[in-house]
Amino acid sequence: MRHFTFILTFFTVLNVFAQEPEQRYPFIEYNLNHLSFSKDSSSFMNFYQKLDSFAQKKRKQISVVHIGGSHVQGGTWSNTFISELHNQFKPSGGGYFVFPYKLAKTNSPPYATSFSNGNWKKCRCVGKEFCLPLGMCGISITSNDSANFFGVALTRRSTFPEFNSIKVYHNFNSSFDFSVSANHYVEAVRIDKRELGYTQFDIDSPLDSITFNFVRKDTIEKDFILYGFSLESNLANGLYLAALGANGASSSSFLKCTYFSEQLKTVSPDLVIISLGVNDTQAADFDKEDYIEHYDSLIEVIKLVKPDVAIMLTTTTDNFIRRRTSNKRTVKTKDAMFELMEKHNVAVWDLYSIMGGLKSMLKWQKAGLAAKDRVHFSPKGYIILGKMMYEALNYSYHNNLKKADH
């Protein structure tokens, strides 16, 4: 294996290795599309070594986790990022962590959907819907039906078209049971991994969707709780994406999730991207120090799960309050990200500045890249975010490889 002597990179520029976007917009600060680092960027140097081993087929999987609110739950930003990585490395396999948002009666990412004929009640890590327990996605669903089915399917917009292994994250309640539907005509080997919080089914023939028959055996214990699925094509090397998005989530939301650490550990992330802040800054009582404290705790939890993980913080996107008032609090969250960068030796992708700074959302909206609420983006806008985030990471990766070769 090749040995690396990395020179620390404090500042990188626009990725010349990636293909130019189909259209360039005058209000986007492309020259600012880079990753920033503290004096210690060793976690990313380690991550780049993993990417290089992956490129040489010496490493089987690279796992990426993206944590956020509605920007992440929508899925397009995260999926574009992983698709660009997939196009670069061209692995044979891959996978997704998928929460069944449709069963929770909320919006789903473009790459997967869920289905059931039963009744489900949701818990969420924010607002009036808060209840416990919650998994790493910040949301869970509960059923007490006597008999129904539930399932998950990849769509044509999925980067990874099929899977041969699925993990069902759930509470192990002896009053309920579920099994792979006979309609699939596959052999499924079941392994209950109680200590890890999921049941795994290894399938002898790849599928793009799967249905489980669900039965309540008795009424001794109520509540079958579903936390999500991991769909994996594990016979070949691949990229894995866990987009952990919950609408309305703030910097403190995931700290409330009962099984955040335990479930995140099963994903074994190599790169964690945190994109929280819009919902914090929408609150009139926003406090920068509280915001930093929440991020401190979240970063510490993630590092306890995976000490050598590379963590990227994205600055809060420009946004408006009730569509009318430009949100000046986002400047404080940007400053907070760079303070956290120095404190925890993580990377920062300054999306706020790349967008064009204060009131830039108006220009994104006028160009059809943002929604009418002036908080969210259009699908095309999220695609631009995903591509640019990939470009910033990819240039930093290649730039350090180039230095290592000299």
Q: What is the pLDDT of residues 222-271, one digit of tens each?
A: 999 999 999 999 877 899 999 999 999 999 999 999 999 999 999 999 99
Domains of the chain from N-terminus onward: 1-7+38-91+238-406 (3.40.50.1110), 97-236 (2.60.120.1360)
Name the percent of the chain lying above pLDDT 70: 93
Q: Would you put residue 127 in left (φ > 0), alpha (ψ -120 to 50) or beta?
A: left
Q: Is the pLDDT of residue 406 over 90?
A: no
Give the range among 1-5, 74-78, 101-105, 362-366 with minimum mean pLDDT. 1-5
- Over the stretch 262-276, which tens digit does the pLDDT of each residue have? 999 999 999 999 999
Q: What is the pLDDT of residue 404?
A: 53
Torsions phi, psi of 239, nearest 5?
-100, 140
Q: What is the pLDDT of residue 2?
A: 37
- Over the stretch 284-307, which tens digit does the pLDDT of each residue have? 999 999 999 999 999 999 999 999
Q: What is the pLDDT of residue 160?
A: 92
Q: What is the pLDDT of residue 121?
A: 96
Q: Is the pLDDT of residue 4 over 60?
A: no
For the chain, the average pLDDT equals: 92
Q: What is the pLDDT of residue 23?
A: 87
Q: What is the pLDDT of residue 5?
A: 33
